[in-house]
Amino acid sequence: MTDIGEGAFESCTSLENVEIPSTVTSIKKLTFNNCTSLKSVKLPANINSIENNAFAKCGLETLEINSGTIGYRAFWSNQNLKKVKIGNKVSSIDSEAFEECKKIDTIIIEKGSKITAAENKWGASNATVNVEE
């Protein structure tokens, strides 16, 4: 399996933790949308794309994305999300990817990343953005 299909787990409110296998390279749009109890997700290091609204309106608390592209509103309205780490193989973050994630207070951008601290993708104006050296 190389992708998780569109809306596959949408509104699965009892889902709390997910570990995506390393064979998966794409998470389609709305895959985990509205999984309000989803607190943690372990993404494979080789993910190529996280599509639009893939994890919108979940309960994620922290997030680490090592590679790929992040689609429009991919993590929109994760009300409990506080910490995001962006790996140096993340090639793009679409607009509003983290919009309405108002509790984000820490964003770490790995050294060598194409993503910059100045990009307005975070949805939380009070977040501290650290670029690793």
User: Domain ranges in the chain?
Assistant: 1-133
Global pTM reads 0.91
In this prediction, what percent of the chain has a pLDDT beyond 70? 91
Q: What is the pLDDT of residues 76-109, one digit of tens each?
A: 999 999 999 999 999 999 888 999 998 988 889 8
Q: Where are the beta strands (DSSP E) in the chain?
A: 3-4, 17-19, 26-27, 40-42, 49-50, 62-70, 83-93, 106-109, 128-131
What is the pLDDT, as a whole number, of residue 121? Answer: 65
- Who's near 93: CB < 8 A, 6+ residues apart? 69, 70, 86, 115, 119, 121
Q: Domain 1-133 carries which CATH code?
A: 3.80.10.10
